Structure formats: C-alpha cells, structure tokens
C-alpha cells in the first residue's frame, strides 16, 4: 500500500480527509515534518481560508521548499481547495501574493455571480483526457461539493475539468505531470469524492511499483 501523508499546517479538513482514507482502507499520516513528507509515496496539501495567510504558515514551517522538492520527485501530489490554489504562481486575494509556483497560473475572484462564496454542489465538465488521472471512471452526472470565492486561471493544457456556478465557468481540477489539484472537497463529496481519492491512491501505487 502507498504511504500517504496529509500535510498538517493548521489549515484544512485534515480529520475528514484522514477519515475518508480510513473508509477506503488506507492509513495516512498527518505531518509537517520534512523527512516524513519526502519519504512519502504521495502527499496531499489541503487548505481553507485566505491564500496569503496559508503561504505565510507554509513559510513559517519551512514547507515551501519541502513541497517543491517533493513535486520534483515525480511522486503524486494533490492540492485540495485552497491547497490547489497554492500550487499556482500567484493570487489576487487581498493583494497579489506569490504561491508555490508549481503550475503556471493566477488565482482570481469568481466573476459574473450574484453571491459569493460559491457553496454547494456542481458537476465537472472534463477538458482533457481523464484516463489514469484522479477523474478516471467518473461520469458527467457526478457532483462535488465546493466552497470558494476564488478560482484558478491557467493554460487549458493543465485543466482536467471545468465547473459552473451562476454565470461563471471556472477551473475545477488540474493536472500537470505528477501534480493534481481539485477546487472541490472530495472528502465531503460522498461516493464520487471517495472515487477521486481512490484514483489518487491508485496513481501512487503505480508510481511506487
């Protein structure tokens, strides 16, 4: 079984994530220790709250270089919600803030909507080939739980799926090589969310082999 670590830096639904993995029969560690993270077969970067605050905490715990080093290893990394946004170059939230820079793109506030944040269920509209990715085996009727005010703008080549809220269409999942991100919360999205995490486990298993 792959050794999966959920990065514990004080932001994110880490207990819900751990419970979701336990439901799938997978043990996962909660850690911000560099050695534990780098020795993992796969890592998850969760996150809720403000982009700048999250980056400040990652810097405080010296996790920026650790996450970047792990990403360069070729082993799978999954960012969830704010954790996905942190993977990108920068965010416009409360002024411009630099992110991890693992994927090219900028985080911007959702436009053409009547109410923020976007809270609720939305479908995924696949953009690029999804086989052997975190979206493998999901049909077009699957819905996922979102809670966010900002969304990523990036190259179409990295967009696994888009979703719609009110009059806005936004990037809801991404892939760049071994790096994945989902704007929604798989750990709060029922059986379809569990399928996302199961797919991520299978990706990690294949890399380990």
Answer yes or no: 185 catalytic.
Answer: yes
Active-site residue, selected from the candidate residues 81, 93, 118, 148: 81
Q: Which residue of the set 93, 148, 185, 198 is catalytic? A: 185
171 counts as catalytic: no
Residue 105: strand pairing partners: 154
- Catalytic residue of the set 93, 171, 187, 198: 187
Q: Which residues are catalytic?
A: 81, 185, 187
């Amino acid at each position: 079984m792959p050794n999966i670590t959920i990065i514990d830096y004080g932001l994110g639904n880490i207990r819900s994530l751990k419970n979701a993995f336990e439901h799938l029969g997978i043990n996962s560690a909660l850690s911000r220790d560099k050695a534990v993270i780098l020795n993992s077969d796969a890592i998850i970067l969760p996150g809720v709250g403000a982009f700048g605050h999250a980056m400040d905490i990652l810097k405080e715990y010296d996790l920026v270089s650790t996450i970047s080093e792990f990403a360069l290893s070729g082993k799978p990394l999954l960012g969830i919600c704010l954790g996905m946004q942190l993977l990108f170059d920068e965010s416009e939230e409360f002024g411009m803030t630099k992110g991890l820079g693992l994927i090219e793109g900028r985080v911007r506030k959702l436009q053409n909507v009547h109410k923020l944040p976007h809270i609720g269920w939305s479908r995924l509209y696949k953009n690029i080939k999804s086989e052997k990715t975190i979206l493998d085996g999901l049909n077009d009727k699957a819905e996922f739980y979102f809670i966010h005010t900002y969304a990523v703008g990036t190259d179409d080549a990295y967009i696994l799926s888009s979703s719609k809220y009110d009059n806005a269409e936004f990037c809801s999942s991404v892939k760049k090589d071994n790096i994945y991100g989902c704007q929604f919360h798989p750990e709060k999205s029922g059986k379809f969310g569990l399928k996302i995490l199961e797919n991520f486990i299978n990706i990690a298993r294949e890399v380990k082999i």
